[in-house]
Chain A
Amino acid sequence: QITLKESAPTLVKPTQTLKLTCTFSGFSLSSSGVGVGWVRQTPGMPLEWLALIYWDNDKRYSPSLRSRLTITKDTSRNLVVLTVTNMEPVDTATYYCTRDFWGGDGYYFDYWGQGTLVTVSA
């Protein structure tokens, strides 16, 4: 059974750095073709992809947020961490962790965590 679970503070202040942790089970991030990424959504807005890290440590970032994002993995502990610097109220959103899986004709996000709501406010 594959599961992913996000953990993060529920409230951060403007200018602070947010640390998001994704703890997963049922698969290994050392398996070829597997990635773990982050997607967020503000109510009423589209899904917004943030970052991905793959089994070979290849990393991808949203071009619009690249300067503020860092993604890392700990394969032995089955976790992925995304840090977002200089948080602003517009970053208030539900953040989802998701597995990126090669489906034969390309990747898709096959499993998702339940999401964690992060509010940015003084």
Chain B
Amino acid sequence: SSELTQDPAVSVALGQTVRITCQGDSLTHYSARWYQKRPGQAPVVVISGENNRPSGIPDRFSGSTSGNTGSLTITGAQAADEADYFCNSRDISGIPLFGGGTKLTVL
């Protein structure tokens, strides 16, 4: 399968930890990247590889991939983290794939 599956919505209490997951066969050979998308703004990469966090991204964001599942963990979620999160991988021929997105609500 060339799809990436995400839960449509997840909520977390302010200051608590939340994990957003992504499943797909491509993740067995290409670790998940994660993008934060706020309305009216361009996507921002928050995880750029196997637990690689670009400069400027808070260290409360972490990522991992195991088997066919990628995970984005936010430890101590903040109100500013409320956004849509998209996982991204590549298929065997290098074609980028995006998950359906997870809407994160911070309560």
Cα(A112)–Cα(B88), bound, Å: 15
Give the shortest distance, in Å, between B84 (CB) and chain A (any CB): 9
Please indicate the chain A residues that have their CB under 8 angstroms from the CB of B31 in the complex: 105-106
A 13-48 binary contact with B (CB < 8 Å = 1; else 0): 000000000000000000000000101010000111
Interface size class of B (residues with CB under 8 A): 20 to 34
Interface string of B75-107 (1 = CB under 8 A from A): 000000000001010100111111111000000
B101, closest chain A residue (CB)? A46
Please give, as numbers and ranges, the residues of chain A lying within 8 Å of B30 by CB-CB distance: 106
CB < 8 Å neighbour of A113 from B42, B44, B54, B86? B42
Q: Are B42 and A96 in contact (CB under 8 A)?
A: yes
Interchain CB contact under 8 A, B52 and A103? yes
Whole-angstrom CA separation of A103 from B50 in the bound complex: 10
Chain B proximity of A36: nearest CB distance (Å): 13
CB-contact partner of B99 in A46, A109, A113, under 8 A: A46
Interface size on A, residues (CB 8 A): 25
Q: Interface digits, A105-122 against B, CB 8 Å rule (1 contact, 0 not)?
A: 111111011110000000
When A63-B95, A103-B52, A105-B31 are in contact, do A47 and B86 touch as well, CB less than 8 Å?
A: yes
Query: Are the C-beta atoms of A107 and B35 separated by less than 8 Å?
Result: no
- Chain B residues contacting A53 (CB-CB under 8 Å) are none
Is A73 positioned at the interface, with any CB of B under 8 Å from its CB?
no
When chains A and B are docked, how far (Å) is the Cα of A52 from the Cα of B91?
A: 14
Residues in B lying within 8 Å of A, measured CB to CB: 30-31, 33, 35, 37, 42-45, 48-50, 52, 54, 86, 88, 90, 93-101
Instruction: Contacts A96-B42, A110-B54 known; list 11 others, CB within 8 Å.
Output: A41-B37, A49-B95, A49-B97, A52-B96, A106-B33, A106-B49, A107-B94, A108-B33, A108-B45, A109-B96, A113-B42
* Contact surface of A with B, Cβ cutoff 8 Å: 37, 39, 41, 46-49, 52, 60, 62-63, 96, 98, 103-110, 112-115
